Homo-oligomer: A and B are copies of this chain.
């Protein structure tokens, strides 16, 4: 498939990935961007959010620990990114858990052109209009068909939608990919969801077909997870091995292990 080639492009061009993100996983978001071969920057002051976004190649907006201030900064950065056609990834962390998260996620979707929206099943279902509740930042069971939910959001918002889970769903509305790589250990560590959004942004920075970019980013991420799990005794060693595997990942390994299905 295509993941290995896009990864090579990330490493050759080393795009700058601007984040306005949460205080829990901010380090890991930065560190995974560097490990995969791109350059992270985090800057949330209103006075510089727009300037920093304008020199970046992609922008990640992650609402994990949103406040009014942070949402305002996201809008400033987002408008700046939109003006220059810099892709924006929205990680809809905890949407469905509180009214604030729902309201602010919809505000971002209404006021900015978001290129890729990512979340777990209940986060995305909420954005697509389903009546669901997220348990903090943890997905709850969604009764609706997830592929249909993702497609609905993509059509409504003219975006690529990513639902992470045992199999990741990536759709632009028409074209849909299932990323079947992955390992349960990725769920044993806090922050892998956020890190996946940052990796997707790295790929979107160098590949304008965002459904392909997101699928490729997720496949590489999950392959590293599979490799790391093999030699880990628990979430502590897994996480460190995961960074090693992301850093050492090459096209040959990806070509062998990649499991992306186009529906």
Contact = CB atoms under 8 A, between A and B. Distances in A.
B52 A97 contact: yes
A51 B100 contact: yes
Nearest to A46: B67
A45 B68 contact: yes
* Best-surrounded residue of A16, A47, A51, A68 (most CB of chain B within 10 A): A47
Interface string A212-250: 000000000000000000001111110111111111100
Interface stretch (A26-34, A108-116, A118-126, A255-263): A26-34
B24 A135 contact: no
A185 B25 CA distance: 22
Interface residues of A, number: 61
A190 B51 contact: no
Interface stretch (A36-44, A81-89, A155-163, A203-211): A36-44
A233 B244 contact: yes
* Best-surrounded residue of A25, A97, A100, A240 (most CB of chain B within 10 A): A240
A138 interface: yes
A157 B52 CA distance: 28
A55 interface: yes
A100 B45 contact: yes
Interface in A79-99: 94, 97-99
A189 interface: yes
Contacts of A236: 35, 239-244, 247
A56 interface: yes
A72 to B, nearest CB: 12
A191 interface: yes
Contacts of A34: 188-190, 235
Contacts of A100: 45, 47-48, 51
Nearest to A51: B98
A254 interface: no
A32 to B, nearest CB: 9
Contact of A40 (B18, B190, B232, B243): B190
Given A239-B240, A244-B236, A65 B42 contact: yes
A135 B55 contact: yes
Interface of A: 16, 18, 22-28, 30-31, 34-35, 39-45, 47-48, 51-52, 55-56, 64-68, 94, 97-101, 135-138, 188-191, 232-237, 239-248
**Which 10 A-B pairs give the minimum distances between C-beta atoms?**
A234-B244, A236-B243, A41-B136, A236-B240, A48-B100, A48-B98, A234-B247, A51-B98, A31-B190, A47-B100
